[in-house]
Amino acid sequence: MRFILIPSPPHLPVRWPKIYTGRVTKVGSFATHDLRSDYIKKNGSWGLLKKWLANASGHKCWYCEAKSTRAPFDVDHFRPKLGITVDGVKLAGHNGYYWLAYEWWNFRLSCQRCNRPEKDHGGTLRGKSNEFPIQDETQRCSLPAASLTTESPRLLDPCVQTDCELLAHSIDGEVKPVAPTGTWEYLRARYTIDRLGFNEWNTPEEKRGRWQTLATLLTVVGHTANPYVIAELKKYLSHDHEYSSFFRSAIGTHRDKAWVEALL
């Protein structure tokens, strides 16, 4: 997970402000959840921001940093729009954050593996879907007028830099919590890693396979800088490279070389 910074004011697509105003006004006019739900399901206009969201991350999933080459990305609502589950159980008495359905700052570009519910090889359910547990359920917002700042989400947010810093990228390709076991920060990192399946679907093995080539180059070159190797490493360190957080960490194991330290 790499921090996603959206400049303020955001340079949204030209058509979005008009569409946004119409959709939000319409949702606010409905008296029941069923009417709101039906309208939102039929008017998923947030898809118009998909290209804009992809440009912000170098066309990578905002959660796992994978690039989707065979399937389209999803526009995930960080706070689910039409219902909430906590550890797979539907939260009674809460109809989701419907008033945030069209707020661009609630959108996260997600690969289908991170967003859609799917059981891994061991039968464990992965994928964010409508999951949104918070630290203290009594502080959950259920009305548009309530303040979201009272909530402390368990899921890490790629739009919060301190959240991204709670994840470590090990040389074995796995993502691991940084904070001490038992702390809230550890629980958040562990939950995010497990729920989104960061270490599933042979992802660590794929990362390790790509790293072996770079590791060999670094070993052969040693302490003498090589323009070709430097150019190659810069590709893996760039913001838009797949799994760049992992490669930054892996390349960082060669900080004893002055020229590598200069790159980082």
Question: What's the average model confidence in pLDDT over 156-165?
Answer: 98
Average pLDDT over residues 166-190: 97
Which residues pair with residue 167 across a beta bridge? 177
For residues 88 and 57, the answer to whether their CB atoms sit within 8 Å is no
* Cβ–Cβ under 8 Å, residues 76 and 110: yes
Q: Is residue 171 within 8 Å of residue 253, measured between CB atoms?
A: yes
pLDDT band for position 260 (50/70/90)?
very high
Nearest Cα residue to 128 out of 68, 67, 72, 64: 64
Taking 80 as the threshold, does the pLDDT of residue 176 lie above it? yes
Q: Describe the crossing of helices 227-237 and 203-221 by its angle, rounded to 10 degrees.
A: 160
What percent of the chain has pLDDT above 70? 100
Q: So what's the pLDDT on residue 15?
A: 92
CA torsion through residues 124, 80, 3, 187, sign:
negative
* CA–CA dist 2, 206 (Å, integer): 18
Residue 68: pLDDT over 90: no
DSSP output for 171-230: TTS-EEE-SPTTSHHHHHHHHHHHHTTTT-TTHHHHHHHHHHHHHHHHHHHTTS--HHHH
For 39-65, the pLDDT digits (tens) are 999 999 888 999 999 999 999 999 999
* Band of pLDDT at residue 119, cut at 50, 70 and 90: confident
Do residues 228 and 234 touch, judged by C-beta distance below 8 A?
A: no
70 pLDDT tier (thresholds 50, 70, 90): confident
How confident is residue 158, by pLDDT bands cut at 50, 70 and 90?
very high
- Give the model's pLDDT for residue 8: 84
pLDDT at position 7, please?
86
